Structures are given as structure tokens and as C-alpha cells.
Structure 1
């Protein structure tokens, strides 16, 4: 393997996701590998409409000795500028040429980037991390996703899925899909960290992940946060005996993709919305939580996922309360409690009163642990490298 262009759905930043873990591992394992990591295009007009600060992309930028990032710009809506995607594709080709990449392998996460493979003829790996056809998107965007995915499933040199369910769903169009699941940096997550300064004192119920309505059940989080905030009054009225509840803070850690109205509802209910934290810092938040939460919607979209937080939550060995979503449902038992939405808040209260506290030392994973408790990223890197090497040999 020599040159790799990753067309990602996320930026290369301090919040590490699947791509960053895999790419960093591949760079460590292969001293001849060079990577151009293409981030989602900036959209200045859309940012202005949302009241956000517009950004204007950047050319190839070194992140490490053999790793560069590139962020194109989409200047106008596609309905006004039908050539927007072609211009973005040409900017990627020019950046690759400046880096001396003449025949790279494409690693495509975003099916809307299929045009780059069509334009260049470069061999492509399609890495399926979500079933975007099961998400709620505008009709025009859904057409682009559908057309791109159909092309990639038919013509990509290899296809990888992060979950068996994704491989099953797409298997009718592509029977040879390899499954490379998510993982965790086990050693880092098992190493004790200090309590973050902005984590509230007292018991904490914590959610780690991007706040997005595709996954997060905002109404459920609002109900749970409100109940936890009012628990002190309930406990006072009930006395110290049966019926008393532990007052706690509900904390949300991760990039916030919710609109202002949803964010305000969460804060009004008493939730602490901390925003994104660097990958090394999030470990401390998880270790010092009393209960870890998965208040996700149960939908065709979430059923396709292999949640990264499953591995991260399991690594720190804290009690977990989750709605019956894929991944957590299969790992239920021990520290993981599954609760339907109507039972979720009460299950969080029970976990707070019966589980380990965030001040307790990290227990060792039990013998016979679920595979998600021992799935290190190094294993996933080896699996992905085998797929990539197979493509390069063709």
C-alpha cells in the first residue's frame, strides 16, 4: 500500500471517530503509506443561514509526516450551482497531484462522493458506517445518496460494513461485504484519569456522542434530565426510606448538531450540554460518570449501527442504561441495563442507587466478557489492512 485518499463524513479534529482510529493505526503499521484525508466541504452560505461563523475550507494541510487533510468549499446550493460537486472533485484531484499521488486508492465513507471514483477511475473502497438510506433527509439529498451508493456497491473494488446488519441489508447488491466493526483503545480507557473540572459534583448520568436527532431521543433526554433534577425534592418528601431517589446531573458530552430550540429544551430541563471534548479528555468524563446513558431512538437507521460508544462504555466498566438499540441490546446483562423509553428514566434512577460510583476504582472486565469489552482498535486496523492490501494486489 502506498497512497490513500479518505473521503470522510467528519473532519480530522480532536473528536476521534472510526476513520481517525483506523487511519492512524494504518499509518503506524505501514511506513510507506501516505494519506490525504478529505473533510466534508465547508458551506459558508448554509453557516450564515444558521447564524454560525462561516468557514472557507483549506488546501492540503500537514497533520503528520505522512498525513494531510483537505477541506473543499461548496460556495452555492446545488440547485443554483449544478457544477459544485465536479469542482470539489477537481480540487481533490489537484491536491493529490500536488502531493505526488498519481494512482491512489479511494476510501469512501460518503456515498455522495462516488463521482470522484467515476471521474478518476481510481480503485475505491466503500466503507459503510451508517445506512443513510434509512435516515431522514431532503428528497434531493436522498437521491444523491441512493445513486452514489448504488454505483459504489456495484463498482467499488471492495466494500466494508461496520455491522453485520449493514452487511445483511446491502448484501443483495453486494454479496462479498467484509465486516470490520468498531473498537476502543483499551489501554487508554483502562488507565485512570482525573475527574474533569467541569463535571458537576455529585452523581452524574452521562451521554457521550454527537447530539443529533438521527440517534438521540431528545424528548427522552428532556424527561430524564428533568426527573433527575427534581429528585432532591422527591427524596426530601419521601424521607430517607423507601421511595427516596438520588439527585443527579445529566451531562451531554460531544459535538452538538441539534438546533437551537432542542438545545434550549435540554438546558431548560437541567441537562448540562458541554459540547465536544478532545479524544484524550473524554476518557475522564466516562470514568467519573456514575451511570452512562444511551437514550437513542429505535429506528431502521439506528438498527444499522455498531455504536462506537458501546466499546468505550464497556472499557470503563460503568453501569449503562440504554434503550433497546443494536449493539447494546446484544450485550445486555451485567453492567448494561436495557429499558424501553417509557421505563428509561426509572431505570436510570435505579442504576444511580445501586451501581458503582464515579469515584470508585475501575474494576477489571469479568471473565467471559462480551466481545465488545475486548475489541481493541489494533485488531480492527489489522482487519482493515487486510481488505486494503487485497484491493492493492488486484
Structure 2
């Protein structure tokens, strides 16, 4: 199996990659945007990570409770009125605060980069009102989720669709993490240059942290562990999870990550073989994955899941863990490293079967993860951006 290149090409230009992120730098679920930024930064490629203009993060900074970003290429701007509190895209509180925030961001960026020599990598259409005031020469839509993932309230779905349409018209190209996402964008803007760049993992770093960390004391002992790490939000299939837990009373189910207060969680907490641990710092996540016997991805079988290329799948596989998943985007790209299931019976059977370790299969999983590194993704992204700009 051919290893993906782990280094970036030399930087022969003043191109700066400016990621307009969907989350703060220290969001508990460290994902694609930060990982790509770290890969570029580590190899000397000029880059910036612009945090989402969160009122909560801003309040933490004012009270000195925000984690430090010293040494990281992070830009912070003024917050805006929270979208979930807005009546619509023309809500005066949003438009006024967005105008102030965009002006402040423009000043901050001009102190650090030449916007003519910068490319904006836009992760969510929520940045569209800012882009109207930011004279980037190149804009790339980094489309990594189905649109509804970004929408904080149903009444704003139409606004996000309009913002996405405007973003597509501004964009010189798009990067997608799944084929399904690319097909949708091609239909909406024929001729748009699109590059498929899936997610990945810093396999060596993940493995190193797992090897160095002790077993977390809050992970139960005495039963086989079926574990999940990630956001326990609307895309989780609680009906399937409940059915699987009933079928596997001999197993312990451990969930690590933030949740949205779904009623199903309260009901499952009462089960003797279920533990919800809440979010954990990303530095500790490898230790939790190492403690799992089997990992799973129990998503609802809808557009969100069928457009998702979960980072957690690569992280699980980097430790050689067996992974059972409901259907996700481009599942075939994982080869035999994922067991795909659709029903509680299928899931329970696959999880039982995965309890029996196989060293050769585990080695193939590790090799797959090592072939899909963030360094390789960062290199592909940089090459695509340069091609859009003519070299």
C-alpha cells in the first residue's frame, strides 16, 4: 500500500490560507479546519484560523476564562448577535453586529496579510455577510457537511440556503469531503471547480497520545466496551442505539462528547450498562478510544449521515479498532475497515462479531489511517488553491 506524502511542497509564494471556521479554536471536538491549519502551520505555509464570532467565546475572553491561543495562527473578531436568537437574516441586531464584526475583522486581517494574496476557505455559509466586506481575491467553499448541520434554528433554514447560494456565486472553487456534497454543488453551479478532499487523522500523534496515557478512570471495567466519541446531536440515531443496548446487556456502552439534551439521553442514563461522560479535552480522546473494545458510529440514516465523512472513523482506525457504522458518505472508500449496518439486529450482530480481535485486520486498519493523514489532505488543498489562482 502506497503511503500518502507527509510533507507539503515548498511555499514559493506569499499565498496565505485564511480559514473562516465554524467553531472556536478550542472547540471540544477538534476537527478538520483546525487539523488542516496545524498541518499548514507546522510546514511553514502561511495560514490563519478565524474563529467563529461567538458571543460565548467573547465573554470567556473578557472574563479571562478563554483558553490561550498563544503560538497558534488564530484571529479573533467581535461577536455577533447569536443566530439562534434572530428572527431572520435581516434582524437588525444581526446586521448591525455583523457589520461591526466584519469591520473589525478586516482591520485585523490587514495587519497580518495582503488580502490580494490570500485565499478565504469558508466552512459555513454563515460567513457570507462578512464576505461582502472582505476583499479576498480568492474564495473557496470548504463544504464538509450537509447544510442543515450549520442551521441553528429551523426558521433560519431559508436564510442559510440563500447565504450558501451567494457563497457559491462568489466562490472560485469548492472543496468537498464527500462525493454527495460535490454532486449537489455541481448541479447548483455548473462548471465550478470542485476537489474531493476527505477527512483524515494525524495517525502518529493520535497513536502516541494513546500509548502514553493511562486508562481513563471514568471508563467502566468488567465488560466489553462499545464506545463513541463525538457530538451527540440531532444526527444520532437514538432509536437504533436503544435497540442495540437492549440486545447487548453483556456490553458496556460509553459515550464521550457534548450533547443537545435529547430526551433519549435521560432515558438511557438509567440503563446499568450505559455511561455518558460528556466532552473531554481532545488531548485525552486517544486514551478513551484506546479503552474501547469496539467503536461505532450510530448515525440516523438521512442526508446528514449520507453526506458525512466522519473524522472519528479515521481516529478509531488509527488505533486498529474495529468500527461498526450506519451508512455514511463514500463508505466504500474505507474498504473492509468499516462494518456497515442499518438495523439494531445487524448492529448487535456486527458488534458481537467485532469483539474477537484479529491482529492482521487491525494492522490493515492502522495502515489505512496512516495513508489518510491531515498532512496529505493539507498538501492536496494547497495544490488545489494554487491551481485556482493560476499557480
Alignment of 1:94 with 2:97, yes or no, is no
The alignment status of 1:375 with 2:391, answered yes or no, reads: no
- Tell me the SS of whatever aligns to 1:64: coil
Alignment length (residue pairs): 358
Q: C-alpha displacement at 1:324, in angstroms? A: 2.7
Structure whose alpha-carbon radius of gyration is higher? 1
SS of the residue 2:169 aligns to: helix
In the alignment, does 2:171 pair up with 1:156? yes
Q: What is the TM-score with the length of structure 1 in the denominator?
A: 0.79
Q: Secondary structure at the match of 1:309?
A: helix
Aligned to 1:238: none
Q: Find out whether 1:205 has 2:187 as its counterpart.
A: no
Counterpart position of 1:188: 205
Structure 1 residues 79, 28: closer, same or farther in 2, change over 3 A? same
Pairwise mapping of residues 62-73 of structure 1 onto structure 2 (< 5 A)?
62-64=69-71, 66-70=73-77, 72-73=79-80
**Structure 2 counterpart of 1:12:** 25
Partner of 1:41: 54
**Residues 307/298 of structure 1: CA separation in 2 closer, same or farther (3 Å cut):** same
Unaligned runs of 5+ in 2: 1-13
- Gaps in structure 1 of 5+ consecutive residues: 44-53, 232-246
**What do the CA deviations read for 1:128-167 (whole angstroms, capped 9, x no partner)?**
0112158887553111111111112122122111112211
**Range that drifts further, 181-190 or 341-350:** 341-350
Q: 2:42 aligns with which of 9, 14, 28?
A: 28
Match of 2:4 in 1: none
1:289 aligns with 2:292: yes
Residue of structure 1 aligned with 2:342, choices 340, 343, 354: 340
Q: What TM-score, normalized by structure 2, do the two folds share? A: 0.80
1:364 pairs with 2:363: yes
User: CA shift at 1:184, angstroms?
Assistant: 0.6
Secondary structure of 2:160 counterpart: helix
Equivalent-residue separation in structure 1 for 2:316 and 2:240 (angstroms):
20
Q: Is the contact between residue 141 and residue 174 of structure 2 (CA under 8 Å) also seen in structure 1? A: yes
Work out the CA distance in 2 between the residues paired with 1:382 and 1:299: 31
The residue matched to 1:277 in structure 2 has which SS? coil
Q: Does 1:224 align with 2:244?
A: yes
CA contact (8 A) 1:310 1:372 kept: no
Separation of aligned partners in 2, 1:118 and 1:178:
24
Indicate which of 259, 271, 274 corresponds to 1:271: 274
* In 2, Cα distance between equivalents of 1:12 and 1:385: 21
Cα deviations by residue, 1:89-134 (Å, 9 ceiling, x for unpaired): 4314314414514525322111121121123332322100112158
Higher helix share: 2
**Match of 2:86?**
78
CA distance in 2, matches of 1:383, 1:91: 32
Deviation by residue 1:321-341 (Cα, 9 ceiling, x = unmatched): 2223334455353x5322222
1:234 aligns with none
CA separation in 1, counterparts of 2:143 and 2:324?
A: 27
Aligned to 2:127: 113
2:322 is aligned to 319
Q: Does structure 1 retain, via aligned residues, the 8 Å contact 2:313–2:323?
A: no
Query: Which stretch shows the higher mean deviation, 177-186 or 72-81?
Result: 72-81
Tell me the CA shift for residue 57 of structure 1.
6.2
* Alpha-carbon distance in 2 for matches of 1:262, 1:324: 21
The 8 Å contact of residues 200 and 372 in structure 2, kept in 1 or not, is answered as yes
> 1:222: how far off?
2.4
How far apart, CA to CA, are the structure 1 residues paired with 2:254 and 2:103? 43
Shift in alpha-carbon separation, 1:366–1:282, aligned structure 2, 3 A: closer
Q: How far did 1:376 drift?
A: 0.8
